[in-house]
């Protein structure tokens, strides 16, 4: 099973100072050294984390699958066609949200999404749709020409007690339904070191797309070394330890 690493939140830290570090392109290189099979970035309309420059550089430097997450807007479709990622994942986008909150409402936006898929396909780029674990959405995704779907695992990740089992079953059933009708099937959102195993054991999944928990862990496991390196520089310069 593939692991696509979402590096948006490396850019979130950089944008806190609007400076040049940490560079998401370097983070992508290190993620690949760690075994990432793909790199994902979400270019948001408000550019709150990933910038156009990041996407262009990643396109040049990333030797593994580059997945561009984006809203199905005219501007983003233009950028996708120009940049040519390995595939595009269409997601809903709201300005006020902290992260993508739900899957695409493919039922309500059928025509709009079909048109977006057509335009992206015309440039030879495959399209995945981020959808909730519901049978209707899966069938509509196929109908309107999607190559892949990414099943939203956020409800599973957030559920507690008996609800967790129900949500896991919804994800597993959705994966099976989507595979049965010939879609490639991924899953993601809210996956972390505690909850990933049960999703990773679902048969038929092509890949998992994980961001926040990996970047969070990277900050913590890198802290000791980062402080040690700074301390060494201070001592070397004559500062007392």
Residue 112 Cβ vs ligand PXP, minimum distance, rounded to whole Å: 18
132 or 225, CB closer to ligand PXP?
Answer: 132
Instruction: Note whether 22 binds ligand PXP by CB under 6 A.
Output: no
d(CA 59, CA 206): 22
CA angle 191, 8, 65 (to 5 degrees): 80
95 or 229, CB closer to ligand PXP?
Answer: 95
94 or 231, CB closer to ligand PXP?
Answer: 94
| 5, 6, 141, 207: which one binds ligand PXP (CB under 6 A) | 6
The kind and range of the H/E element at 54 are helix 52-61
Stretch that binds ligand PXP, among 80-88, 166-174, 211-219, 229-237 (CB under 6 A): 211-219
DSSP string for residues in 143-179 = HTT-SEEEEE-HHHHH--THHHHHHHHHHHHHHHHHH
Residue whose tokens read 């957030």: 158
Separation in Å, CA 221 to CA 9, 30, 53, 213, 229? 16, 14, 28, 12, 14
Residues whose CB is less than 8 angstroms from the CB of residue 162 and which lie 6 or more positions away in sequence, other chains included: none
Site for ligand PXP in 138-167 (CB under 6 A): 150
The answer to whether residues 116 and 71 touch, using CB atoms and an 8 Å cutoff, is no
Separation in Å, CA 84 to CA 81, 179, 232? 5, 26, 44
Binding mask 66-105 for ligand PXP (x = CB under 6 A): ---x-------------------x-x-------xx-----
Residue 192 Cβ vs ligand PXP, minimum distance, rounded to whole Å: 7
- Torsion angles phi and psi, residue 164, rounded to 5: -60, -45
Instruction: Note whether 190 binds ligand PXP by CB under 6 A.
Output: yes
Stretch that binds ligand PXP, among 43-51, 78-86, 208-216, 223-231 (CB under 6 A): 208-216
Give the binding-site size for ligand PXP (rule: CB under 6 A): 19
Residues engaged in binding ligand PXP (CB under 6 A): 6, 8, 42, 69, 89, 91, 99-100, 130, 150, 188-191, 209-213
């Amino acid at each position: 099973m593939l692991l696509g690493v979402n590096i948006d939140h490396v850019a979130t830290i950089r944008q806190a100072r609007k400076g040049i570090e940490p560079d998401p392109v370097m983070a992508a290189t290190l993620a690949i050294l760690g075994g990432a099979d793909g790199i994902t970035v979400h270019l948001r309309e408000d550019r709150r984390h990933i910038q156009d420059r990041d996407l262009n550089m990643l396109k040049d430097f990333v030797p593994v699958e580059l997945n561009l997450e984006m809203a199905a807007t005219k501007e983003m479709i233009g950028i996708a066609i120009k940049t040519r990622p390995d595939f595009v994942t269409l997601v809903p986008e709201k300005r006020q949200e902290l992260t993508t909150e739900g899957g695409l409402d493919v039922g309500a936006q059928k025509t709009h999404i079909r048109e977006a898929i057509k335009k992206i396909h015309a440039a030879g780029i495959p399209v995945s749709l981020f959808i909730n674990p519901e049978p209707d959405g899966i069938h509509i995704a196929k109908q309107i020409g999607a190559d892949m779907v990414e099943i939203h695992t956020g409800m599973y990740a957030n559920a507690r007690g008996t609800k967790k089992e129900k949500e896991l079953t919804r994800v597993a059933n959705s994966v099976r339904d989507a595979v049965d009708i010939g879609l490639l099937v991924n899953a993601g959102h809210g996956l972390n070191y505690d909850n990933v195993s049960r999703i990773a054991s679902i048969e038929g999944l092509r890949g998992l797309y994980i961001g926040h928990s990996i970047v969070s862990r990277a900050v913590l496991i890198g802290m000791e070394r980062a402080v040690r390196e700074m301390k060494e520089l201070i001592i070397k310069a004559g500062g007392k330890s």
